[in-house]
């Protein structure tokens, strides 16, 4: 029966490793267990084709417009933040804890956020994404795990793990996707949300999500090739958390370690007394397409360094201190930022620490002030930090409790939640 329309409940996004570099899991040999991206609120994609006008002497018209570069597909999606579960599935190195409250690493600064993006294997950099499309009027999250029957044994068989309705799903497969931007917004009275952008080398459509033997493209010929690997869309399992509000967040700013001077006295206003109402930061990844005369497609999309994380802090100014802006900036002082986000629970109005973002040795690029009749005097502070895999004294670091459902808990035990 033809579809009349596609509504939001008909679609869901899943992540997996690139099928050119990924290996099938040891739990279900020959299969990839897809990881659901939680709390997605929007997704869009499109293809950009670069053509070259071919002309010749003696003619005003264009002879042809051939494609000289491999088309690039742009994939973007947004989700409400609920802990670093999505980030872990997407390849970031996070110092997470689960139900046992044992952190993955000894401290939050022992491993770089992007170390899996730049190591020789590049297994965290390349992603494949899948959008499952259910029939009209149907939710994708229909086949739900029965918590009472969700033993590890039931997850090690296809019948126990796979979404039984997936055979009726259409599947959009975005292949060899490379992250180009990660952005988080924390604002008072709003949900914390994240926006990500990827460039992808191909998109394929399958009319069933059950046992799909996924194809990929040969970089030399740009022709489809069987991978011999089937994807598995697991039953739906809800994670332990829902969303986080900006109101439950606390931002602290200080001079970097080793500098005992007061930051507020240097820039002329009190940061401790300022009423911060928004914090935004983003990481931009410039890519260099690695091309070869023997290949019709790029062999790889290498990250260009340096990778810069930039942030903006906005709020209402409080007390003023004496200070010398020019002297402060001339001293090349760096700052540390710590953003803690809490989840509110019954019986604990102050909340429990859920997620922590640390930015170390950032530099302030600009400070703006705004005064106008009828509104409070506002301040806006902008800065940036260099993410260097070889220097852990600076950069951005993610840590906190990892929200997990039944499938995620099992994959953590199996060591295959992240790639």
Q: For the residues of 87-155, what is the DSSP string, one character each?
A: HHHTT---EEE-TT---SSSSTTSS-TTHHHHSTT-TTT-EEEEEEEPPTT--STTSB--GGG--HHHH
Which stretch of DSSP H or E encloses residue 267? helix 263-267
Contacts of 204 (CB under 8 A, 6+ apart): 172, 173, 175, 214, 215, 224
- Tell me the CATH class for 246-401: mainly beta
Pick the most confident of 13-17, 27-31, 223-227. 13-17
* pLDDT for 296 beyond 90: no
CA distance 10 to 138: 6
Domain regions of the chain by residue span:
8-45+66-185+194-242+404-414, 246-401
Q: pTM of the entire structure?
A: 0.87
Identify the pLDDT of residue 287.
92
* Residue 193 pLDDT grade (very low, low, confident, very high; cuts 50, 70, 90): very high
With cut-offs at 50, 70 and 90, classify the pLDDT of residue 57. Answer: confident
Whether 368 contacts 93, CB under 8 Å: no
CA-based angle 361:122:223, to the nearest 5?
140
Answer whether 8's CB lies under 8 Å from 44's CB. Answer: no
**More confident position, 44 or 375:** 44
How confident is the model at residue 348, as a pLDDT? 54
Note the Cα 132 to chain centre separation in Å: 19
- More confident of the two residues 42 and 265: 42
């Amino acid at each position: 029966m033809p579809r009349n329309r596609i509504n939001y409940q008909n679609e869901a996004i899943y992540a997996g490793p690139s099928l050119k570099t990924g290996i099938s899991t040891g739990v279900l040999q020959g299969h990839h267990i897809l990881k659901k991206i939680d709390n997605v609120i929007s997704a869009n994609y499109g293809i950009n084709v670069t053509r070259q006008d071919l002309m010749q002497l003696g003619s005003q018209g264009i002879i042809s417009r051939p494609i000289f570069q491999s088309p690039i597909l742009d994939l973007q999606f947004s989700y409400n933040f609920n802990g670093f579960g999505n980030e872990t599935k997407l390849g970031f190195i996070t110092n997470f804890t689960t139900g046992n409250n044992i952190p993955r690493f000894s401290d939050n600064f022992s491993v770089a956020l992007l170390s899996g993006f730049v190591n020789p294997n590049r297994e965290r950099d390349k992603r494949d994404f899948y959008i499952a499309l259910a029939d009209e009027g149907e939710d994708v999250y229909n086949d739900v795990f029965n918590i009472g029957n969700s033993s590890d044994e039931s997850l090690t068989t296809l019948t126990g793990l796979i979404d039984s309705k997936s055979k009726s799903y259409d599947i959009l497969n975005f292949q060899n996707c490379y992250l180009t931007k990660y952005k988080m917004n924390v604002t008072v009275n709003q949900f914390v949300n994240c926006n990500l952008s990827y460039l992808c080398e191909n998109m394929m459509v399958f009319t069933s999500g059950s046992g799909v033997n996924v194809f990929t493209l040969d970089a030399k010929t740009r022709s489809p090739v069987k991978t011999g690997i089937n994807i598995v869309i697991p039953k739906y399992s809800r994670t332990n958390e829902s969303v986080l509000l900006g109101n439950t967040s606390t931002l602290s700013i200080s001079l970097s370690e080793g500098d005992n001077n007061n930051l507020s006295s240097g820039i002329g206003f009190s940061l401790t007394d300022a009423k911060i109402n928004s914090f935004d930061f983003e990481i931009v990844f410039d890519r260099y397409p690695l091309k070869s005369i023997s290949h019709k497609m790029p062999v790889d999309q290498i990250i260009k360094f340096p990778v810069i994380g930039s942030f903006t802090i906005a709020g209402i100014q409080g007390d003023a201190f004496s200070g010398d802006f020019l002297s402060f900036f001339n001293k090349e002082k760096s700052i540390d930022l710590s953003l803690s986000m809490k989840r509110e629970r019954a019986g604990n109005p102050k909340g429990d620490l859920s997620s922590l973002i640390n930015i170390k040795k950032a530099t302030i690029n600009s400070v703006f002030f705004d005064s106008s009749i009828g509104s409070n005097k506002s301040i806006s502070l902008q800065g940036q930090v260099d993410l260097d895999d070889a220097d852990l004294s600076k950069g951005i670091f993610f840590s906190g409790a990892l929200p997990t459902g039944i499938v995620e808990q099992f994959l953590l035990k199996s060591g295959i939640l992240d790639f």
